[in-house]
Chains A and B, each alone.
Chain A
Amino acid sequence: MTEAAQHKRPNYMGIWVGLAALTLVELGVAFLPWSKQVIILLLVGLAVWKALMVALYFMHLRFEGNRMRIFAIAPLPLTVIIVIAVLTEYVW
């Protein structure tokens, strides 16, 4: 119950402002007259950035031990495996 208290508390308001600002950037990027591929890459990058901010600071993954981090990211390879494998139905 005290693990989280041992570290310096992150600047929650700063994270919040950052998330809101990134959302605005996303809204701008989505309507740029660039090629679709570039926009998709940028948008996915921004979304991952936002998701990481939530996971690392709001969910305190940044301050957990390595064991907890492993628990948290363990399912992610499996999500990639299924999507990539089934996508090969279309890409090749």
Chain B
Amino acid sequence: MATAAVPLDEATHAGSHEISFIRKYIFSTDHKIIGIQFMLMSLIFLLVGGILAAMIRWQLGFPNTSMPGGGILPETMAPGGILLPEFYNSLVTMHGTIMVFFAIMPLLVGVYGNYLIPLKLGAPDMAFPRLNMASFWVAVPAGILMMAGFFVEGGHAAAGWTVYAPLSADPEWTGVSTGQQLWLLSLAVLGLSSILGATNYITTVVNMRAPGMTWFRMPLSIWALFVTSILVLLAIPILSGAAIMLFFDQTIGTHFFDALDGGQPLLWQHLFWYFGHPEVYILILPAMGFVSDIIANASRKPIFGYHSMVYAIIAIGFLGWVVWGHHMFQSGMNPTLGTTFMISTLFIAVPSAIKTFNWMGTMWRGNIRFHVPMLHATAFVAMFVIGGLSGVFMASNTFDIYIHDTYFIVAHIHYVLFGGSLFAIFGAITFWYPKMFGRMMNPFWGKVHFVLTFIFFNLAFFPMHSLGVAGHMRRIYDPTQYEFLQPLQPVNTFISISVFLLVLSQLPFALNFILSWFNGAKAPDNPWDDNGLEWSVPSPPPHGNFKETPTVYRGAYEFSSPLVEEDFLPQNKKLDSDPEPAQAAGH
């Protein structure tokens, strides 16, 4: 260690001097504070999205009855507590939008991209700390714009989170004008925040790694965040461009998506999904990365097939660009394209299966510690397999004719987004909470939260598969109005009750999160006996992270190594047999 000690640059030292409260906690340039800011913001949005989901389920489970507490909503949303169809459309739209763009995506990329990348790579901060601050403070107005839509005349955007044109392009059809415009503006602004963030992450990963942290020693979470950042960087501008065109269609009378005057409604779908499918992997790749770290740690074994994991991440990242048409099989697009997209989509099963088998190979005959993060990680693997298998079904052009736009799709997306991403997020939060806040979360209530969430999640979403196969359309206001769906109403009621209990099950987590912040047991530097560089610094790490730039001698997964007595071998621990890495001086 000592031989590798180099002085940190001035900027880092300057930061450790006293700085005002506002500079330290509000307009902070410290990547750790910004990560926590993102976490608080996106957890609030997760709560909002969950409440919207509960309202949707009330209408579906108990159609046209007065919703408990619905009386506080204004007449334009729910007269007498009964949700209006127009408001129901807004609910469906905003549940999807908020969950995807303001909850899951910032939780995965905003929080852990910020928090983990410099810490795990041995850097004092991001490459551009001020840009990093800007990225958060651009995301906040985007969130405010998005929430403002609920309060404007005509209600919030109601064309679905995919805002298909022409439905979204003209207020004539949804009755919404201002709400839809705010929606589009908000996403354009949020896009800027994401692009600034991704620029920062990519530059940091490429240029700021500590000596010895070669590409193939990087933890899989960093690999996943790196590939995700590339996807964010290149996919989000497509959405921004498309959103701006749709915004102009609404405001200054352009005709991009207006078939009457030379536009192409299908172009919106192509652009949206050209962004949208990489977005799907933006929402799952970091989750896969965190789960890989947690599973290796809890199994006390090196990750099985590290290189194949890395190549699988890269392969998924690339394939994400050539499969967008599988969202559009029934849109009337060119059938030749449909077949092409079906084949390319089926290819994705290969890297996904590689990852799944590698996780199982890691756990196989491991001395598994079932701590709370590990419980969530195993749930991730199981739920991802279910969601992934229904995904393989849907990739088939012909099967999709039958199940498209039904609850089968809803079940699939929730198995990968909630069962996949959100379980991984819970795992990541519980795993890195000690490092972020310097306190341990209560393991008992963590387990209670996990068990309840796992049970009610499956009770809520698994029956949706059968609803979908029975022909239950997604996004309908009142299923009982169709005779063929009336026998299925008890299933709907069952799902709704499960969803309410699922929302309630988050209470132990919320309380655990808040109370542990103040009252949790003091966290040691390395509570999980992990190898990553972030565990070699105090919890929480000081401004500037490392007293001296660490030197890295091995990958992040040297568990149960015969070379040392403990069953873990930190990346920066020098053994006598380790050669000094060929260091590169900066410029």
Q: Which residues of A contact B (CB under 8 A)?
A: 1-2, 75, 78, 81-82, 85-86, 88-89, 92
B456 interface residue per 8 A CB criterion:
no
**Cβ of B270 and Cβ of A86 under 8 Å apart?**
yes
B321 interface residue per 8 A CB criterion:
yes
> 3 closest A-B pairs (Cβ-Cβ)?
A86-B270, A82-B274, A89-B334
User: In the complex, what's the smallest C-beta–C-beta distance from A90 to chain B, in angstroms?
Assistant: 9
Given A78-B234, A92-B336: A86 touches B321 (CB 8 Å cut-off): no
Given A1-B587, A75-B234, A78-B234: A85 touches B337 (CB 8 Å cut-off): yes
Main DSSP-derived SS at the B contact region: helix
User: In the complex, what's the smallest C-beta–C-beta distance from A82 to chain B, in angstroms?
Assistant: 5
Which residue of chain B is the closest to A88 with respect to CB atoms? B334
Encode contact with A along B331-359: 1 for CB under 8 Å, 0 otherwise.
00110110000000000000000000000
**Cβ of B587 and Cβ of A88 under 8 Å apart?**
no
Residues on B with beta carbons closer than 8 Å to the beta carbon of A75:
234
User: In the complex, what's the smallest C-beta–C-beta distance from A19 to chain B, in angstroms?
Assistant: 27
User: In the complex, what's the smallest C-beta–C-beta distance from A75 to chain B, in angstroms?
Assistant: 6
Q: How far is the CA of A81 from the CA of B278 in the complex (A)?
A: 14
**Cβ of B270 and Cβ of A88 under 8 Å apart?**
no
B289 interface residue per 8 A CB criterion:
no
Q: Which residues of B contact A (CB under 8 A)?
A: 234, 238, 266-267, 270-271, 274, 321-322, 325, 333-334, 336-337, 587
Q: How far is the CA of A81 from the CA of B270 in the complex (A)?
A: 12
**Cβ of A88 and Cβ of B321 under 8 Å apart?**
no
Residues on B with beta carbons closer than 8 Å to the beta carbon of A81:
321-322
Residues on B with beta carbons closer than 8 Å to the beta carbon of A86:
267, 270
Q: How far is the CA of A75 from the CA of B238 in the complex (A)?
A: 12
Residues on B with beta carbons closer than 8 Å to the beta carbon of A89:
266, 333-334, 337
Q: How far is the CA of A78 from the CA of B334 in the complex (A)?
A: 20
**Cβ of A82 and Cβ of B270 under 8 Å apart?**
yes
**Cβ of B321 and Cβ of A78 under 8 Å apart?**
yes
**Cβ of B334 and Cβ of A92 under 8 Å apart?**
yes
Residues on B with beta carbons closer than 8 Å to the beta carbon of A85:
270, 325, 337
Residues on A with beta carbons closer than 8 Å to the beta carbon of B334:
88-89, 92
**Cβ of A88 and Cβ of B325 under 8 Å apart?**
no
25 cross-chain CB contacts under 8 A: A1-B587, A2-B587, A75-B234, A78-B234, A78-B321, A81-B321, A81-B322, A82-B238, A82-B270, A82-B271, A82-B274, A85-B270, A85-B325, A85-B337, A86-B267, A86-B270, A88-B334, A88-B336, A88-B337, A89-B266, A89-B333, A89-B334, A89-B337, A92-B334, A92-B336
User: In the complex, what's the smallest C-beta–C-beta distance from A60 to chain B, in angstroms?
Assistant: 16
User: In the complex, what's the smallest C-beta–C-beta distance from B332 to chain A, in angstroms?
Assistant: 10
Residues on A with beta carbons closer than 8 Å to the beta carbon of B271:
82
Q: How far is the CA of A89 from the CA of B266 in the complex (A)?
A: 10
Residues on A with beta carbons closer than 8 Å to the beta carbon of B266:
89
Which residue of chain B is the closest to A1 with respect to CB atoms? B587
Residue with the greatest number of chain A CB neighbours at <10 A, chosen from B234, B334, B587:
B334
Which residue of chain B is the closest to A77 with respect to CB atoms? B321
Q: How far is the CA of A1 from the CA of B587 in the complex (A)?
A: 7
Q: How far is the CA of A92 from the CA of B321 in the complex (A)?
A: 22
Q: How far is the CA of A77 from the CA of B552 in the complex (A)?
A: 35
User: In the complex, what's the smallest C-beta–C-beta distance from A3 to chain B, in angstroms?
Assistant: 8
Residues on A with beta carbons closer than 8 Å to the beta carbon of B587:
1-2
Which residue of chain A is the closest to B335 with respect to CB atoms? A92
Further 14 A-B residue pairs, CB within 8 A, beyond A75-B234, A85-B325, A89-B337? A1-B587, A2-B587, A81-B321, A81-B322, A82-B270, A82-B271, A82-B274, A88-B334, A88-B336, A88-B337, A89-B266, A89-B333, A89-B334, A92-B334
User: In the complex, what's the smallest C-beta–C-beta distance from B215 to chain A, in angstroms?
Assistant: 12
Q: How far is the CA of A1 from the CA of B238 in the complex (A)?
A: 33
User: In the complex, what's the smallest C-beta–C-beta distance from A48 to chain B, in angstroms?
Assistant: 21
Residue with the greatest number of chain B CB neighbours at <10 A, chosen from A75, A88, A89, A92:
A89
User: In the complex, what's the smallest C-beta–C-beta distance from A78 to chain B, in angstroms?
Assistant: 6
Q: How far is the CA of A86 from the CA of B340 in the complex (A)?
A: 13
